[in-house]
Structure 1
Amino acid sequence: MGAFLAAAIGFPTVVFTAALTVVVLFWLLVALGAADAHGHAHAHLNSRAHSDGWGLGGVPVTLAFSLFVAVGWLVSYCASVLLVPSGPVGILVGSVVLIGTVYVSWQATKLFVRPLHRLFPDEHGPSRLDFVGLTCTIRTGRVDAGFGQAEVRSADGSAAVVQVRQPDGDLAQGALGSGSTGLLYAYDETGEFFWVAPYDSALDPRTGPGTTG
Structure 2
Amino acid sequence: MMTEFLAAALAFPTVLFSLLVLVVLAYWLTVVLVGIDFDAPVLPISISLFVVITWFLALVGTVLTPENKLRWVVLAGALLLGALATKLVLIPVKRWTRPEKPASRNDFVGRTAIVRTSRVTENYGQAEVTADDGGTAVVQVRAATSTDLKAGETALIFDYDAEGEFFWVVDISTGG
TM-score grouping bracket, smaller chain normalisation: 0.5 to 0.7
Q: Which amino acid aligns with 2:29?
A: L
Name the structure 2 match of 1:105: 82
**Mapping for residues 22-171 of structure 1, pairs under 5 Å:** 22-33=23-34, 35=36, 60-85=42-67, 90=68, 92-122=69-99
Q: Number of aligned residue pairs: give it.
A: 103
Name the structure 2 match of 1:6: 7
Q: Which amino acid aligns with 1:112?
A: V
* TM-aligned CA deviation for residue 121 of structure 1: 2.3
Name the CA distance, whole Å, in 1 between partners of 2:11 and 2:34.
33
CA distance change for structure 1 residues 83 and 33 in 2, over 3 Å: closer, same or farther? same
Unaligned 5+ residue runs, structure 2? 102-161, 165-176
* TM-aligned CA deviation for residue 113 of structure 1: 0.7
Name the structure 1 match of 2:157: none
Name the CA distance, whole Å, in 2 between partners of 1:76 and 1:106.
13
* TM-aligned CA deviation for residue 33 of structure 1: 1.8
Q: Which amino acid aligns with 2:21?
A: L
CA distance change for structure 1 residues 107 and 11 in 2, over 3 Å: closer, same or farther? same
* TM-aligned CA deviation for residue 102 of structure 1: 0.2
CA distance change for structure 1 residues 12 and 38 in 2, over 3 Å: closer, same or farther? farther
- Contact (CA 8 Å) 1:16, 1:73: kept in 2 or not? yes
Name the CA distance, whole Å, in 2 between partners of 1:121 and 1:37.
13
Could you give the per-residue CA deviations for residues 77-130 of structure 1, whole angstroms, max 9, x where no partner exists?
A: 111011132xxxx0x311111011000000000000101122112357xxxxxx
Name the CA distance, whole Å, in 2 between partners of 1:66 and 1:100.
18
CA distance change for structure 1 residues 102 and 25 in 2, over 3 Å: closer, same or farther? same
Q: Which amino acid aligns with 2:85?
A: A
Name the CA distance, whole Å, in 1 between partners of 2:15 and 2:23.
13
Could you give the per-residue CA deviations for residues 149-185 of structure 1, whole angstroms, max 9, x where no partner exists?
A: xxxxxxxxxxxxxxxxxxxxxxxxxxxxxxxxxxxxx
4+ residue runs of structure 1 moved beyond 3 angstroms?
34-39
Name the CA distance, whole Å, in 2 between partners of 1:103 and 1:22.
21
Unaligned 5+ residue runs, structure 1? 45-59, 125-204, 208-213
- Contact (CA 8 Å) 1:38, 1:62: kept in 2 or not? no
* TM-aligned CA deviation for residue 34 of structure 1: 5.8
Overall identity of the aligned pairs, in %: 35
**Higher percent of residues as strand:** 2
Return the TM-score normalized by structure 2: 0.53
Q: Calculate the aligned-residue CA RMSD, in Å.
A: 2.3
Name the CA distance, whole Å, in 2 between partners of 1:37 and 1:17.
26
Return the TM-score normalized by structure 1: 0.44
Q: Which amino acid aligns with 2:55?
A: W
Partner SS, residue 7 of structure 1 = helix
Name the structure 1 match of 2:21: 20
- Contact (CA 8 Å) 1:9, 1:17: kept in 2 or not? yes
Name the CA distance, whole Å, in 2 between partners of 1:122 and 1:114.
15
Q: Which amino acid aligns with 1:9?
A: L
